[in-house]
């Protein structure tokens, strides 16, 4: 949220790693208000199954806003079964154009096991380079760590877990209590 609206809201870290035919999305569990940790075990990574097609999504930002976006994404996927890219673009268009949705403050990482996207309120649907995407206050730390680990023998889950551990060591708004979901297409 904007600092003038509700000061002190910070963080989370979500990472998506695609390697070896698998995509793993991991998120920390910390919810902070200013200098205070409100909760350490929030679930910011979810498995969705609209129309029988599995999708894994992780979110950073306002929880209520993220849940609203996830519900909208499910509806888009029900209208276009198995077409994640199309559903993401339609959600991003609505998010940017709709007066209500335009004020939502969250970001999403979504995957169907083949494709990996970051969706923003600016109307962006980004497919990351190097098979790694990260969002949230510790996202850049996790992204850098994962990119450095991608050439190793580690699998997607091990890369995601190590990158999240590094981010948690650096970012005070990220903890090591992870939710990890994986999906293969």
Residues β-bridged to residue 22: 19, 184
CB 177 within 8 A of CB 41: yes
Hey, which residues are catalytic here? Answer: 12
Q: Cα 58 from chain centroid?
A: 3
CB 162 within 8 A of CB 145: yes
Q: How far is CA 32 from CA 36, 99, 174, in A?
A: 6, 28, 9
CB 135 within 8 A of CB 118: yes
CB 39 within 8 A of CB 29: yes
């Amino acid at each position: 949220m904007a600092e003038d609206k509700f000061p002190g809201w910070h963080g989370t870290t979500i990472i998506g790693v695609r390697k070896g035919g698998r995509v793993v999305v991991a998120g920390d569990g910390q919810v902070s208000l200013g200098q205070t940790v409100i909760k350490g075990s929030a679930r910011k990574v979810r498995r969705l199954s609209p129309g029988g097609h599995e999708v894994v999504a992780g979110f950073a930002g306002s929880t209520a806003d993220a849940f609203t976006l996830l519900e909208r994404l499910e509806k888009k996927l029900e209208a276009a079964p198995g077409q994640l890219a199309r559903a993401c673009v339609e959600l991003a268009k609505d998010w940017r154009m709709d007066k209500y949705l335009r004020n939502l403050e969250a970001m999403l990482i979504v995957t169907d096991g083949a494709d990996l996207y970051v969706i923003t309120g600016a109307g962006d649907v980004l497919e990351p380079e190097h098979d790694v995407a990260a969002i949230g206050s510790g996202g850049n730390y996790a992204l850098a760590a994962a990119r450095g680990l991608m050439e190793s023998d580690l699998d997607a889950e091990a890369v995601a877990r190590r990158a999240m551990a590094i981010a948690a060591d650096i970012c005070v708004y990220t903890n090591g209590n992870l939710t990890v979901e994986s999906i293969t297409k």
